[in-house]
Chains A and B, each alone.
Chain A
Amino acid sequence: MLFSPGWRGRIRQGDVLAVFTLGLLLGGTLTGAGIWLLSGLTAPLPPAARTAGLLALAAVGVLRELGLVRVPLPQNARQIPPEVLARRARRGALRFGFELGTGLRTYVSATAPYVLALGLLLAGPGLVATLLAGAAFGLGRALSAGLALASRDPARAARVAARLPWIRNAAALTALAVLPLS
């Protein structure tokens, strides 16, 4: 959708990707700032309780991703309307990226972003770590779009769909391996 050729042929797709990435970074950083503010609520918890909470959270994330437990996700079940991109390509890409980057304005179907957000809330690793984790979340989303553009492969979306369970499982397992030690 972002790189549809033809109707925005006068605008370079690299420009669209750059603006889209900026939007993702801004959105992710904003959500990170919100999480940092809320993380003050968990500050009184003792370190042992935080570690146990992180371990339990990440373990549930893995079990959910493997389909062994059912945990409904409180996602915003809507798609960003295509009109956002149709009118003005650069401004639309910025808004589209920002909305995706927040992780709050559209579907979030993988478990890892929830584990990340709740993990940051529980661990309270500080302002810099929380903002950077939010920005990195946006960058991770941008990486997907960047690789799609770089591949110039119309069949890539099907390859992504085929590998998505592996990607999601690996993200959840990495969170389980890393977050309790963070």
Chain B
Amino acid sequence: MPELTAGRARRRLSEPLLPVPVLALLAVAAVALEHRVLGWAAVGALAGYALSGSV
């Protein structure tokens, strides 16, 4: 089994796809719990994150 070095751990934790399910689940959970403000905020964060790499 390959050793988990600090560099490799950092790369895994900064995987570009990682925030997507977190924010998407947050948005769905917020709407399911009728927390509209949090739902809009989660969709807003995801919309901003969708512009990754764009300047």
Contact = CB atoms under 8 A, between A and B. Distances in A.
Interface of A: 1, 24, 28, 79-80, 100, 106-110, 112-113, 115-116, 119-120, 125-126, 128-130, 132-144, 147-148, 150-153, 156-157, 159-161, 163-164, 166-168, 170-175, 177-179, 181-182
A181 B31 CA distance: 7
B7 A152 contact: yes
Contacts of A119: 43
B23 A174 contact: yes
A150 B14 contact: yes
A63 to B, nearest CB: 16
Contacts of A125: 36-37, 40
Contacts, number: 168
Contacts of A134: 44
A141 B37 contact: no
A41 B41 CA distance: 22
Contact of A133 (B19, B44, B52): B44
B10 A153 contact: yes
Contacts of A152: 7, 10
A144 B49 contact: yes
11 contacts: A113-B48, A116-B43, A120-B40, A136-B41, A140-B49, A147-B19, A153-B11, A170-B20, A174-B23, A178-B27, A178-B42
B36 A112 contact: no
A130 B55 contact: no
